[in-house]
Structure 1
Amino acid sequence: MKHQTIKRILVFSLCAVMISLSGCSKGEEKQEQKEKEVVTTVLEKLFTIPNQKMQDAYEEATKMAEQAAAETTEPGAYGVYDFQKLLEEMYGSYFTEEGIESIPYWIYTNLNVYAADRDVTVTFKNADVQPEGSSEGNYYTFITELEYSIGEKEAVFEQKGTALFEDGKIKNIYFADGLMAEIENQLFM
């Protein structure tokens, strides 16, 4: 009798531990899936060019620069558009404050200028987002498939990068050199 009771206690304890472990992994899986979706959403927003809000902001910055230059005799005087507020409005729910600052300047300025001035479009197709081990937080690598066109000429490009999460938001996003150099090579060959 005692032997059966001990067996039952051991089996029950083992089952409780296994259920507990599976519950933790389900929570981690949900968090991972949510973070992968955030990365994909952000990439889709960043790489849908032209972006009218960004183009308008850049045009306003250009007008301010021209006006400031006309009103002064000092060389190099120009106006500067504060993109930070616009970035916070567009991406604040996905990024920490530090994370928004990691969005590369070329994405929200140069690409949109080229889109307006040189008939460039970029279309997000899909993203392969994979978790990687990191002691700093939840870390992901991604490969984003993009199509871009310059006038009638079309091409496919894979933009690679990484994203680091903290408390469910992107703390840092990094893009390997690529898309901007590719477009500039096509424009200025």
Structure 2
Amino acid sequence: MTRIAAVHGVLPPHRHTQREVTDMVARTCLPPGADRRVLDRLHENARVRTRHTVLPLDGYRDLDGFGTSNDVFIRSAVDLGAQAVRGALRAAGLRPTDVDLLMFTSVTGIAAPSVDARLVTRLGMRSDVKRLPVFGLGCVAGAAGTARLHDYLLGRPDDVAVLLSVELCSLTFQRHDASPANLVATALFGDGAAAV
């Protein structure tokens, strides 16, 4: 019988109030002199009090394109992912060498070699651990990933499988973009990792 033995979430170190995020968005997305009342209402009505990000807010102005942002994604995803997997294994009373399958999912960055591949040695997993990177599932990744782990474990009931999700939404922030989609995203999403 498949069962979830533990879940462990990790947040990055930089914590910001919604007002701090709103002020940063107003400075970087809205044209000079623009009326920010709609942005203020949107962020206030999102009912998000605080958010965690991998960089301090002023660090985002130094990201000069996808390559720079993705480099930060890789480093941060590996660091947060390692913490999340270690925490889940510890809570389940398991060691990294007990893991037979490591599945990784994200939609906010890409890596080759993949984040799961980078974690195998760092965590001390066996060299024959199976890995499965999954990209593009977005908000459904946790449910779909858990379902796929269940499918795997039906055929291998004595194995241990781990799902790791890392989403670093702050790195997808689009400066100078006052579109509704970007402003809604800046009102809602932060960064974090979780392992099951």
Which of the pair is proportionally richer in strand?
1
After TM superposition, the score normalised by the length of structure 2 is 0.25
Query: With structure 1 as the length reference, what TM-score do the two structures score?
Result: 0.26
Query: Which of structures 1 and 2 has the larger relative contact order (alpha carbons within 8 angstroms, sep 6+)?
Result: 2
